Amino acid sequence: MEGVQLFGNGLSTILTNPQYLLLVVVFVALGILLGALPGISVNLSLILCLPMTYTMDSETAMTVLIACYVGALSGGLISAIALNIPGTTSSIATCFDGHPLARKGEAGRAIGVGILTSTVGGVLSYIMLILVTPLMASIALEFGHWEYFAIGIFCLTMIIDIAGEDVLKGILAALFGMVLACTGNDPINGSVRFNLGFRALDGGVVMTALMCGMFAVPEIMKLAYNRDDESLGRMKVEKFRGYGIGFKDYLAQWKNVLRSTLIGTYVGLLPGIGASSASLLSYTTAKAQSKNKDEFGKGSYEGLIASETANNACMGGAMIPMLALGIPGSSAAAILMNALTLHKVSCGPLVFSQSGDLIYFVFAVCLVSVVVMCVVERLLLNGYLKVLGAPRRILMVVVILMCLVGSYSSRNNVMDVFVFAIGGTIGYFLQKVHISSAPIILGFIIGPIIELNFARAINLSRGHWQDIFSRPITMIFLVVALLAFANSIRKTAKASKERRAAEAAAEKI
Amino acid sequence: MDDILLKKIKRAKGNIALSIGAILLSLFFFVESNRIKDGAHSVVSSKLFPRIYAGVMLVCALAILVNAIKAYSSVPKEIRDKDKLTKESIAGYGRVLAVFAVLLVTAIVYKPLGFLTVTPFTMFLIFIIIEKPEKRNYPLFLGLSIFCPIVVYFAFYYLFSNLLPMGILKPFLIQFM
């Protein structure tokens, strides 16, 4: 209960101090503006704000950084839905249904629903964290390398499930991403792999460049291929009110929202797994539970709500390993941790006893930022929709420029511009054979989780791989993964049987 | 009827091309994995996962190839002959490759020539490639191609403290830094 009291103190400090409130509004807006630009990552947005915080006191500094972080993470949904280019990796699953909705002329409504559900996911997640942090943290500590490995395998089967009607192509795409992730220094032995003789590839393929390339370049290539297609000229943007969804309709999704919040918050607690896995898990679970499975991937609000709720719920969960264990789960979390260190707050098991006031103040800032984000992003949305209503061909060339710069500036390496160009072209031709970029990118994210944790687990057990059978959580995940994989194969077999029957009927005619 | 079979033949052709590409890629990764030097202390070899991935990739690609060949040969020859690239699609692929060429050349000359020298050309050329000749608004394309890179360059420098390559404009740009 002490935590609740400290949280209440933090909340009243923010709400009664106009300076903090103003900072939250300004930096949430800045974060949204930056996050919505393809190629500008959350990290870059935080780096922009970091130098400003050097001279501030620790509360003000964390207010600025957290507000920008919340805004930038949420801003990613705008480009994911409108342009099919996820602003952040956590928005990849948002593209699956968000962009088909935009193609139907429902971009504004889809973004509105995304904003609303992000807020709900974020708020529920923070409330959950404040109430049950010690319990959740203790469960998270039960997770060792074998469990992380099993989660990786489980996520892999989820990727295959979302890949479409052909399981083999889904596996192929995910494997392609996983092989690409092997490029550069091996995380365990440090051996250089697949650098093709280029020293610039020793650091591997960078995520921003690959993601920008795989999502943005195919879009511009589609415009080049279909130059005469007038329907691609301008995005239709319809008028809508509020957040695009009625209270009753949203309430009807309560199971989906609650489940996605739980998945997001819990996955967020596991260091190194990330919001992209959370939104993917939530999306596939929602698909499995839905009565309208066929709508998923074609513009389903259920799918959009699942992914957006989970990735924002994950944000809260991710604070725990960073603060309580001193393990930053992502590079953005590392920047936040660095800012805390600059202000003499050492993250680790003693953080709650030594700097409890500040930590609960951070939680309060997160909660206020999420609520402010809901209002500010909705206000900015009309402006964005006007920009998105501009001729698509002009818009996309400017987006390509942003992605090109974003790819290069992630580590100032020209090799990333090559990755952007070549990866994007491969992505285009793969889309021609009905392989979307999403399983490749997700394979790229999950591959290292599987390899790193398997290697660590084997090393720790001195080569006794049989230890895996003595881990019940691991076995549960692996069995569920196996069942999910078998289900995917069954669905593919059924779909191809139906297709063959249709083709055979056509041949007879 | 023909539509379904034409779709089938298109899918089969696409899958054959995909599987051949994937087979070559998996073999490449398999061979390349022999060049990986292992660390002394780890129980798990650095080659293990790349080899597993390449191996499974090869199996999947072979399965796709077999299925695709079966599907291709099951379609009557007269339908197969109907599926030819039209002039429009050849021109379309030409434009796709032109976009790729522009991006590749941009990557090659990005550092030596500099961001502000290269990207206006990149943007302008892509505008030209993706817009129909009768709809091209050259002054707008030119304006955007010059204005956007300048804004982005200085925004990255002043806001993100990130200096993009100056290239041949270094003597001029250094005055603003």
Q: What is the pLDDT of residues A439-486, one digit of tens each?
A: 888 888 888 888 888 988 888 888 788 888 888 888 988 998 888 888
Q: Is A200 on the interface with B (CB under 8 A)?
A: no
Q: Is A390 on the interface with B (CB under 8 A)?
A: no
DSSP assignment of A469-486 equals GG-HHHHHHHHHHHHHHH
Domain that holds residue B8: 2-82
Percentage, residues of chain A above pLDDT 70: 92
* Number of H-type helices and E-type strands within chain A: 19, 2
Q: Which of B7, B28, B32, B96 to mutate to test the interface with A (most CBs of A within 10 A)?
A: B96
B116, B76: one domain: no
pLDDT given for residue B111 in this prediction? 92
Q: Is B77 on the interface with A (CB under 8 A)?
A: no
| Phi, psi dihedral angles at A445 (to 5 degrees) | -80, -40
- Enumerate residues 40 to 69 of chain B having a beta carbon within 8 A of any beta carbon in chain A: 41-44, 46, 49-50, 53-54, 56-57, 60-61, 63-64, 67
Q: Is A240 helix (H, G, I), strand (E, B) or coil?
A: coil
Alpha carbons A466 and A265: distance in angstroms, whole number: 31
pLDDT category at A50 given cuts 50, 70, 90 is confident
Alpha carbons B143 and B149: distance in angstroms, whole number: 10
Q: How far out from the chain centre does Cα A355 lie?
A: 29
The mean pLDDT of chain B is 89
Contact call for residues A83 and A108 (beta carbons, < 8 A): no
Q: Across residues A1-22, what is the average pLDDT?
A: 86
B72, B123: one domain: no
Question: What residues in B contact A447, CB-CB < 8 Å?
Answer: 49, 53
Contact A221 B88 (CB under 8 A): no
Q: Is A329 helix (H, G, I), strand (E, B) or coil?
A: coil
pLDDT category at A137 given cuts 50, 70, 90 is low
Alpha carbons A452 and B27: distance in angstroms, whole number: 24
B63, B103: one domain: no
Alpha carbons A115 and B71: distance in angstroms, whole number: 45
Alpha carbons B168 and B112: distance in angstroms, whole number: 7
Question: Nearest-CA residue of chain A relative to B22?
Answer: A172
List the single range of A147-156, A262-271, A294-303, B24-33 with lowest mean pLDDT: A262-271
B108, B161: one domain: yes
Backbone conformation region of residue B133, classed left if phi is above 0, alpha if psi is from -120 to 50, else beta = alpha
Min Cα distance B115 → chain A (Å) is 9
B69, B101: one domain: no
B8, B39: one domain: yes
Contact call for residues B164 and A409 (beta carbons, < 8 A): yes
Q: Across residues A242-258, what is the average pLDDT?
A: 87
Would you report the helix, strand and coil content of chain A in percent, each value rounded to 5? Answer: 80, 0, 20
- ipTM for the whole predicted complex goes beyond 0.95: no
Q: Across residues A28-48, what is the average pLDDT?
A: 81
Q: Is A414 on the interface with B (CB under 8 A)?
A: yes
Question: What residues in B contact A454, CB-CB < 8 Å?
Answer: 44, 49
Q: Is B155 on the interface with A (CB under 8 A)?
A: no
Contact call for residues A153 and A479 (beta carbons, < 8 A): no
Q: Across residues A367-372, what is the average pLDDT?
A: 92
pLDDT given for residue A125 in this prediction? 86
Question: What residues in B contact A221, CB-CB < 8 Å?
Answer: 96, 99-100
- Mark which of B55, B82, B109 sits at the end of a domain: B82
**Going by C-beta distance under 8 Å and a sequence separation of 6 or more, which residues neighbour residue A435?**
A163, A164, A169, A170, A172, A173, B18
Residue whose C-alpha is closest to residue A405's, from A34, A40, A36, A31: A40
How many CB atoms neighbour CB B166 within 10 A? 19
* Structure-token match 């206020």, residue found: A368
Distances A402 to B39, B131, B143 between C-alpha atoms, Å: 39, 20, 17
Contact B29 A194 (CB under 8 A): yes
Task: State the sign of the Cα–Cα–Cα–Cα dihedral B73, B75, B78, B83.
Answer: negative
pLDDT category at A165 given cuts 50, 70, 90 is low
> How many independent structural domains does chain B possess?
2
- Mark which of B82, B116, B138 sits at the end of a domain: B82
B91, B70: one domain: no
Contact B46 A189 (CB under 8 A): yes
Q: Across residues B153-165, what is the average pLDDT?
A: 85
B146, B167: one domain: yes
- Mark which of B28, B59, B82 sits at the end of a domain: B82
* Structure tokens, A21: 């409130």
| Phi, psi dihedral angles at A193 (to 5 degrees) | -125, 140
B95, B76: one domain: no
B113, B43: one domain: no
Q: What is the pTM of this model?
A: 0.82
Beta bridge partners, A391, equal: A234
Q: Across residues B132-148, what is the average pLDDT?
A: 93
pLDDT given for residue B121 in this prediction? 96
Q: At what angle do helices A107-141 and A254-269 cross, to 10 degrees?
A: 50
